Structure 1
Amino acid sequence: MADHYDIIIIGGGPGGYTAALKAASLGFRTAIVEKEKLGGTCVNKGCIPTKSLLYAASKFKELQNCDEFGVSTDFISFDFKKMQQYKKSSVKSYRKGITDLIEEENITVLTGTGIIRRNKTVEVHSAQGKDYYTGDYLIIATGAKCVIPPIPGADLPGVLTSERLLASDNWNYDRLLVIGGGVIGVEFATIFSALCSHVTILEREDHLLGPMDTEVSQALEEELKQRGITIHCQVNVKEIKEDTDHGLSCVFEMGGQEHTIQTGHILIAAGRQPFLEGLLGEDVSLELENGHLKVNSEFQTSEPGIYAIGDAASDILLAHVAAAQGTYVVEKIAGVEHTIRLSVVPNGMFVKLPVVPSCIYTEPEIASVGITREAAVANNMHVCCGHYSMSGNGKSIITSRQNGFIHLVFEEFSGTLVGAQIVCPRATDMISEMATAIANGLTAKQLRLAMRAHPTYSEGITAAIENYFETKGEQGNDERETGTVKKPDGRAPY
């Protein structure tokens, strides 16, 4: 007889383990099916290891440019193998924290590959054999995998995915070509450029970072170019070939002409897609949509009692989105009040605003939440914006990090914050205030009441709010309707 649980979760990544912890805290008998290590791609092969290497590389970069602070060094070098050991230590420590919480909550971890069968039965294949478990509810949280586009030569030695590159212990990356200018691509370009590698990015679209605000992507592109990174946009990669002199060469078309770049290694960072292989048995069929599991507004699949969260079902492939959806689904099953908002429609508006922070850990950091001015105008929303250049911010001057800006988008008539884009150090921390404001429908007047410490990067938020009031008072209706911005000289208001 199959062992029975209230909730069985397939996948132990951020969505899966967050859902499990929430379920256990609400009294459900809970099990997680995970074929590898708890934490999923994010903890073991994605976010945590990447950000660890970014931090280590940034330290090396800082020491190379510390003379202006009165710090002199005779010789600076890096040990890539030790950096990787630091990365592995960070991953191990983070994963242990998750494992400890799972054990404290008496959550059962079923190690193996889970296959969904009829009547909400999960068949688990492990080294010990095959076992069956049943649940009142199933939650699919199987995550995503790297996309390998159909480029001839993409399977050659030296052509890597982000997961393979993260696992490398030895340094032989003097020349790195990155195919894809999204988040993964620009973060790896930042790491290897900081470690003195000659980096080139090839991007298919007309600017980096795809759906990100145009001004944000332009600011990042300028910063990356200043760091010596070569960037080519509107590129069509034709072929990857072996090269006797350098290892590899990449043939691509740009501006109607064919070009060739010689390089040592190529990172393919063309995005990720849901990992659903082997998930469903022959006696179960779940409806798909654009390669994802199709779910309703409550994340229920076409089969009652079976839910899907995170990368398996969402268009937004972020760890914190998966975690938030996991919490939402368990609270829905339990019939308790939701403790998290995934989107919001402010009073008097007709546009649904995502309350999902998007963070990119380049230098400077980039973070956004809500909608951009362009998206607001496309939805016929009348907006007025506040803008502040971080060149005049006290903390930016102290740290010699004066590139960047804060851009806030407010609905014109109510003054409600509907979007924020931040480019500066600690932007990924600062964006939480903006997400909180959008989730609670706060206005510029309410945000203005908050005192922000001096000297901090967050003072730029106050300055951007002040610029909004100046802009709103000085512009005519036609300019406000298109979200035109009057940019201040960058000086702080105090």
Structure 2
Amino acid sequence: MAKHYDIFIIGGGPGGYTAAFKAAGLGLKTAIAEKEKLGGTCVNKGCIPTKALLHASSMFAAFQSCDVFGVSADFISFDFKKMQDYKKRSVKEYRKEVRESIENAGVDYIEGTATIRRGRTVEVNSPSGKDYYEADHIIIATGAKPVIPDIPGAMLLGVLTSDRLLASDTWNYDRLTIIGGGVIGVEFATIFQALCSHVTIIESREHLLGPMDNEVSEVLENELRRKGIAVQCEAKVLEIREEEQGLICVYEADGEVRTIRSGQILLAAGRKPNLDGLFGRDVSLAMEDGCLKTDSEFRTSEPGIYAIGDVTAGKMLAHVAAAEGTYVVEKIAGVHHTIRLSVVPNGMFVELPVVPGCIYTEPEIASVGITVEEAKAHNMKVRCGRYSMSGNGKSIITREQSGFIHLIFEEYSGTIVGAQIVCPRATDMISEMATAIANGLTADQLMLAMRAHPTYSEGITAAIENYYEAKGDERL
């Protein structure tokens, strides 16, 4: 007889394990199945390993210019294998924490490939055999996998996805071409430029980072170019071929065909939902543009089956998946929601996302809410406050002065509706802005907060003061 659960979760990434913690905490009998390693893409092939390499490479880069701080070093080098070992230790430690938390919560962890059958039955295949489970509710949190673009030569040996690159122990990246200028592309460009690689980014769109604010993209492009990274936007890759001198990437830009030679080529053209082996022949869920179709409550077309995170059409971010997992479990349990994904402030008609977007380049980039362009599209009148980090005390101390803080306020009420931050620690600072938007805070209310000196966060106060100057120093 199949074992029965209140909630059965398929996928052990941030969305899955966060939902499992929440469900167990609410007294629901819960199981989570994972076919690879617990922690999903984020812990094993994404956020954690990438940020570990970013940290390691930034340490090396910092020592390259430490003389300005009065620190001398006769010989600086790096060992890529040791960097990868450090990354693996970080991943293993994080995964261990997740595993212990699941066990302590009383969640049943099942290793194997889960397939949904009719009647909310889940078949799990593992090396030890095949088992069946039944559940009142199933949450699909299987994440995403790298997209392999339809480019001749994309399957050549030296053409890598981010998964394969993160698993590499040997150095062969003196010349690296990155196809794709989204978050994955620019973060890997930052890592390998810091390790003295000759890096080229080829992006098909008008600017890097796709939907990000145009000004943010422009600042990043300028900073990448200043560091020696070649950036080619509005370019179409035609083919990749292997020649005696290495891999040749052929692309078209500005009306002409160009080539670039590389030792390795990274495909960073995005990710797509991972649905491999998920459905049995007797189960069919509605799809939309290659993603599982869900409603506003994350319900699929099949009653009792939900989908969260990268497998849906939403933002592919670990913290989004975790928030959605919490939301779904609270909905199932019939308890008050403790998390918001968006908010409509009093007196407004525009829904504001409160999900922070973070990019771990140098300088870091973070945003939340809407941009000026999006506000205009909603016919919303806004006024902005801006501050250049070149005059910030902490920026002067650290010699990181290329960023800015841009705050967007609804014109009549002074309610904050968006923020873009480009500076060191921006990914930490953005949480204050997300909290402010989620709670409908105004410029006046934000000014009540005292920010320590010297910190990067002082720039937030300066940006608000600039907003008042734009209003004629008027307090609301």
**Scaled by the length of structure 1, what TM-score is found?**
0.95
Q: Which runs of no fewer than 5 residues in structure 2 stay unpaired?
A: none
Match of 2:30 in 1: 30
1:266 partner letter: I
1:344-363 matched pairs, under 5 angstroms: 344-363=343-362
Q: Distance in 1 between matches of 2:187 and 2:38?
A: 24
Match of 1:479 in 2: none
Cα distance per residue 1:109-138 (max 9 Å; x no partner)? 111101001110001111111111000100
Match of 2:44 in 1: 44
Match of 1:133 in 2: 133
Aligned partners of 1:243 and 1:262 also within 8 Å: no
Q: Distance in 2 between matches of 1:395 and 1:261?
A: 40
Partner-residue secondary structure (3-state), 2:472: helix
Q: Distance in 2 between matches of 1:91 and 1:473?
A: 51
Cα distance per residue 1:38-60 (max 9 Å; x no partner)? 10000001110000000000000
2:298 partner letter: F
Q: Distance in 2 between matches of 1:58 and 1:314?
A: 33
Q: Distance in 1 between matches of 2:233 and 2:105?
A: 49
Partner-residue secondary structure (3-state), 1:391: helix
Match of 1:100 in 2: 100
Match of 1:480 in 2: none
Match of 1:478 in 2: none
Match of 2:293 in 1: 294
Aligned partners of 1:187 and 1:362 also within 8 Å: yes
1:307-386 matched pairs, under 5 angstroms: 307-386=306-385
2:456 partner letter: Y
Cα distance per residue 1:156-183 (max 9 Å; x no partner)? 0100000100000011110000000000
Cα distance per residue 1:423-464 (max 9 Å; x no partner)? 000000000000000000001110011000000000000000
Partner-residue secondary structure (3-state), 1:137: strand
1:67-466 matched pairs, under 5 angstroms: 67-245=67-245, 247-466=246-465
1:310 partner letter: G
Partner-residue secondary structure (3-state), 2:97: helix
Q: Distance in 2 between matches of 1:378 and 1:471?
A: 22
Q: Distance in 2 between matches of 1:243 and 1:215?
A: 39
1:473 is displaced (CA, Å) by 2.0
1:474–1:105 CA distance, 2 compared to 1 (3 A)? closer
Aligned partners of 1:122 and 1:132 also within 8 Å: yes
1:462 partner letter: T
Q: Distance in 2 between matches of 1:355 and 1:147?
A: 27
1:443 partner letter: T
Q: Distance in 2 between matches of 1:223 and 1:399?
A: 16
Q: Distance in 1 between matches of 2:473 and 2:380?
A: 20
Q: Which runs of no fewer than 5 residues in structure 1 stay unpaired?
A: 476-494
1:304 is displaced (CA, Å) by 1.0
The 10-residue stretch of structure 1 (382-391 or 123-132) with the greater mean CA deviation from structure 2: 123-132
Partner-residue secondary structure (3-state), 2:220: helix
Q: Distance in 2 between matches of 1:410 and 1:347?
A: 14
Cα distance per residue 1:249-302 (max 9 Å; x no partner)? 010000110001111100000000111122111111111111111111110111
Cα distance per residue 1:199-238 (max 9 Å; x no partner)? 0000000100000000000000011001100000000000
Cα distance per residue 1:129-162 (max 9 Å; x no partner)? 1111000100000000000110000000100000
Q: Distance in 1 between matches of 2:192 and 2:390?
A: 27
Cα distance per residue 1:386-439 (max 9 Å; x no partner)? 000000000000111111000000010111100000000000000000000000
Q: Distance in 2 between matches of 1:7 and 1:208?
A: 40
2:324 partner letter: Q
Q: Distance in 1 between matches of 2:457 and 2:287?
A: 43
Q: Distance in 2 between matches of 1:317 and 1:382?
A: 30
Aligned partners of 1:395 and 1:456 also within 8 Å: yes
Partner-residue secondary structure (3-state), 2:95: helix
Aligned partners of 1:368 and 1:419 also within 8 Å: yes
Partner-residue secondary structure (3-state), 2:330: helix
1:468 has 2:472 as partner = no
Partner-residue secondary structure (3-state), 1:17: helix
Q: Distance in 2 between matches of 1:284 and 1:179?
A: 37
Partner-residue secondary structure (3-state), 1:473: coil
Cα distance per residue 1:74-130 (max 9 Å; x no partner)? 110000011001100110111111011001011111111010011100011111111
Match of 2:6 in 1: 6
Match of 1:484 in 2: none
Partner-residue secondary structure (3-state), 1:130: strand
1:36 is displaced (CA, Å) by 1.1
Cα distance per residue 1:334-354 (max 9 Å; x no partner)? 010011001001111111111
Percent identity, please. Answer: 73
1:463 partner letter: A
1:128–1:298 CA distance, 2 compared to 1 (3 A)? same
The 10-residue stretch of structure 1 (216-225 or 307-316) with the greater mean CA deviation from structure 2: 307-316
2:54 partner letter: L
Partner-residue secondary structure (3-state), 2:4: strand
Q: Distance in 1 between matches of 2:421 and 2:105?
A: 38
Q: Distance in 1 between matches of 2:287 and 2:471?
A: 46
1:63 is displaced (CA, Å) by 0.2
Aligned residues: 474
Q: Distance in 2 between matches of 1:465 and 1:304?
A: 48
Q: Distance in 1 between matches of 2:264 and 2:328?
A: 42
1:314 is displaced (CA, Å) by 3.4
Q: Distance in 2 between matches of 1:369 and 1:406?
A: 12
1:373 partner letter: V
Q: Distance in 1 between matches of 2:242 and 2:124?
A: 42
Partner-residue secondary structure (3-state), 1:422: strand
1:474 is displaced (CA, Å) by 7.7
Q: Distance in 1 between matches of 2:203 and 2:286?
A: 33
